[in-house]
Amino acid sequence: MQRPNHDEVRQKVADLPLSPGVYQFLDASGRVIYVGKAKSLKRRVSSYFLDSRNHSAKTRLLVSKICDLRHIVVETEADALLLENSLIKSLQPRYNILLKDDKTYPWIVVRNEPFPRVESTRKVEQGGAIYYGPYASVMMQREILELLHALFPLRTCKENLSPEAIARGKYRPCLKYHIGACKAPCVGGQTEEEYLANLEMVKHVLRGNLRIARDYLKDTMMQAAADLRFEEAEAIRRKLEMLDNYSSKSVIVSSRMEDADVFSVLVDESVAYINFVRTVRGSVVNTFTAELSCSADDDTSHILTEGIRQMSERMTGRLAREVIVPVMPEEGVFEGVKFTVPRRGDKLSLLQFSERGAKIYRAEKLKNQEIRNPEKHTDRLMAAMQAELHLPREPRHIECFDNSNLQGTNPVASCVVFRDGKPSKREYRHFNVKTVVGADDFASMREIVGRRYTRLLAEGAELPDLVVVDGGKGQLSSAYEIFCELGIEERVPLVGLAKRIEEVFFPGDPTPYYLKRTGEPLKVMMHIRDEAHRFGITFHRNKRSKAFIGSSLDAIPGIGPKTIADLMRHFRTISAIRAASTDELSSIIGPAKAQKITEFFKGV
């Protein structure tokens, strides 16, 4: 039996994201004893381990038995609600009193009958009806139903509107017809074709296909406004806003999904992360991520096959009849199982949900490694960058250059420095471009790189392990020319990083190289590039602002830098100085200078 170690659990709590999701507490035997939902996982779960005097006796007992913690991140708080409900019903945790019974969330059903009704239900049955949802709250479901019935006149009565019953004339129009909420198909006021056309529009909305309904509403609103029916137009505008905010899709619980297992794989240098999701009757009832050692020679199909085999053994060898995967596994390994690689729809959404779980697991693991053993994390990151960029040594010292100008005005450049993959801001440098006229990024790059490394060589300072220029082949060629002139092209590796899709260029090679999209080296390179751009553009904006201030006030005879500084300190902006009265200016800089400024701006 494992004894509770709250220090380890608290460390896991500290690493939780602020995203919405579901958390599970486990006891010493590894059994889930509590399932909860949270708008922010970190804030909610950390509240359990604060001052216990504010907790109830039940909560104190629960916390005393917590030995481990799991969590699942979802897109929205509504998805967290649905997943919590599904997991509680599946796992039956000891300390969850609510939601253990058969109560469930509400659905919207389109009945299988003549002139089908659209109404609320809590029971999903076989029989040809179509179900949408579930909805996280009855209020949300009612708002959607009210919206649908307001937009498209549909019947709500329970009469049997078969053709024979309508032909016998046994019905009369009800109050709904007289208030315009129904077109009375019961007495032939609306054909079945017209009714089904409206029903098809309702289905589009419930499936999340809002464009058709949005176009219809917009046209109706514009026509009402053109006819001067402004109150009606405003009411439709509010419905349009409600429609824009409406979302009907959730892969956490879906009436269109059968029992299925989902596996996704995320491969790093020597480890693969296999995420597993199990759905039963359309509801997610289990999900976890496991690690699998792998080599660079293993392809994704082999890694996935081995991951499914090991995880199915962990689940006593049982797999669902359908397994959703990103790539087909190796043939002949799993008998009686249908593998599906989805391209669209709910199955693709479920696969993306699984892939997001694997990415979150890996990110949290790497974050934990960085916190607990920063030296080991740095060593691993540097080794990965050396291998990925084919460098002769680990890039412990990286410098990145970026140019900034606006139509050739105020050209500047920036150099940012990273040590062990992290910014070293005290080593950042700004450069004013001195020898280039106009917007010539290539010439600017030659000047700045030349000035930087000419100085470092003259001072005998340390040269970087890697130099990155922000731009494509043109900027890279300009920097490489300077490297050749200085004789450091063999000593210092140089690459160019294009902005759009993170293409990496090497000197003399016209073909771009693409870093792994899921690897840490790409994230470090993007961070370096973005930091160089931020640092450079901030300097450029400040310089441009000062140039604008100077051009306005320096042109006034008798107004010097000290006077300008006094005015800007008090009024903050040129617009405020221009709008100030002579008396206001006099109180700051005296009447003579105030008169000059007033006359200058009157003449502008």
Q: Which domain CATH number covers 359?
A: 3.30.420
228 found inside a domain: no
Whole-angstrom distance, CA of residue 195 vs CA of residue 344: 30
- What pLDDT is stored for residue 493 in this prediction? 92
Q: Is there a single domain that holds both residue 424 and residue 528?
A: yes
- pLDDT at residue 546 is higher than 90: no
Question: Both tokens of residue 324?
Answer: 């959703």
- What pLDDT is stored for residue 122 in this prediction? 81
- What pLDDT is stored for residue 5 in this prediction? 58
Mean pLDDT within 141-149? 78
Q: Is there a single domain that holds both residue 512 and residue 442?
A: yes
Among the residue ranges 22-31, 97-106, 222-231, 374-383, the one predicted with the least confidence is 97-106
Between helix 211-226 and helix 192-206 the angle, nearest 10°, is 110
598 found inside a domain: yes
- What pLDDT is stored for residue 465 in this prediction? 93
Question: Both tokens of residue 553?
Answer: 């006030």
Mean pLDDT within 385-393? 89
The CATH number covering residue 479 comes to: 3.30.420.340
Domain boundary among 210, 226, 244: 210
The CATH number covering residue 567 comes to: 1.10.150.20
Whole-angstrom distance, CA of residue 241 vs CA of residue 227: 21
Q: Is there a single domain that holds both residue 410 and residue 517?
A: yes
- 234-288 residue pLDDT tens: 878 887 776 666 555 555 656 566 788 899 998 876 788 888 888 876 677 778 8
- Which residues, 6+ apart, have CB-to-CB distance to 257 below 8 Å? 251, 279, 282, 346, 347, 350
Q: Is there a single domain that holds both residue 324 and residue 433?
A: no
Higher pLDDT, 464 or 169: 464
Contact 420, 376 (CB under 8 A): no
247 found inside a domain: no
Confidence band, pLDDT 50/70/90 cuts, at residue 484 = very high
- What pLDDT is stored for residue 1 in this prediction? 45
Q: Is there a single domain that holds both residue 528 and residue 405?
A: yes
Per DSSP bridges, beta strands 409-419 and 429-432 are antiparallel
The count of other CB atoms within 10 Å of the CB of residue 424 is 14
Mean pLDDT within 26-54? 84
Q: Is there a single domain that holds both residue 413 and residue 443?
A: yes
Confidence band, pLDDT 50/70/90 cuts, at residue 209 = low
Mean pLDDT within 61-69? 86
Confidence band, pLDDT 50/70/90 cuts, at residue 406 = low
Q: Is there a single domain that holds both residue 327 and residue 286?
A: yes
- What pLDDT is stored for residue 263 in this prediction? 92
- 155-165 residue pLDDT tens: 888 888 888 88
Torsion sign, CA atoms 83, 89, 92, 96: positive
Percentage of the chain lying above the pLDDT 90 cut: 9
219 found inside a domain: no
Whole-angstrom distance, CA of residue 234 vs CA of residue 213: 17
236 found inside a domain: no
Whole-angstrom distance, CA of residue 522 vs CA of residue 150: 51
As a whole number, the mean pLDDT across the chain is 81
- What pLDDT is stored for residue 208 in this prediction? 63
Question: Both tokens of residue 459?
Answer: 């001072």
Higher pLDDT, 102 or 269: 269
Contact 519, 529 (CB under 8 A): no
Contact 25, 62 (CB under 8 A): yes
Cα 520 from chain centroid (whole Å): 18
Q: Is there a single domain that holds both residue 528 and residue 467?
A: yes
- 564-575 residue pLDDT tens: 878 878 887 777
- What pLDDT is stored for residue 103 in this prediction? 56
Q: List, as one string, the DSSP characters of 231-249.
A: HHHHHHHHHHHHHHH----
Q: Is there a single domain that holds both residue 526 and residue 392?
A: yes
Q: How far is CA 95 from CA 6, 10, 35, 320, 505, in A?
A: 18, 20, 8, 29, 57
- What pLDDT is stored for residue 453 in this prediction? 92
Whole-angstrom distance, CA of residue 288 vs CA of residue 93: 17
Among the residue ranges 133-142, 323-332, 538-547, the one predicted with the least confidence is 538-547
Confidence band, pLDDT 50/70/90 cuts, at residue 454 = very high
- 376-385 residue pLDDT tens: 878 888 988 8
Number of domain units in the chain? 5
Whole-angstrom distance, CA of residue 304 vs CA of residue 341: 13
329 found inside a domain: yes
The count of other CB atoms within 10 Å of the CB of residue 53 is 6
Closest CA to 416 of 396, 401, 432, 394: 401
Whole-angstrom distance, CA of residue 316 vs CA of residue 311: 9
Q: Is there a single domain that holds both residue 392 and residue 491?
A: yes
Phi, psi of 283 (to 5 degrees): -115, 140
- 286-329 residue pLDDT tens: 788 888 887 766 788 888 888 888 887 776 557 888 899 999 98
Q: 3-state class of 228 per DSSP?
A: coil
Mean pLDDT within 126-131? 80
- pLDDT at residue 20 is higher than 70: yes
- pLDDT at residue 499 is higher than 50: yes
Higher pLDDT, 407 or 436: 436
Range of the domain at 277: 260-369
Closest CA to 462 of 413, 419, 506: 419
246 found inside a domain: no
570 found inside a domain: yes
Mean pLDDT within 21-48? 88
Q: Is there a single domain that holds both residue 410 and residue 527?
A: yes
Mean pLDDT within 405-416? 69
The CATH number covering residue 48 comes to: 3.40.1440.10
Partners of 412 in beta bridges: 404, 432
Whole-angstrom distance, CA of residue 444 vs CA of residue 532: 15
Q: 3-state class of 421 per DSSP?
A: coil
Among the residue ranges 14-28, 47-61, 245-259, 442-456, the one predicted with the least confidence is 245-259
Q: Is there a single domain that holds both residue 310 and residue 421?
A: no
- What pLDDT is stored for residue 526 in this prediction? 87
**CA end-to-end span of the chain, whole Å?**
85
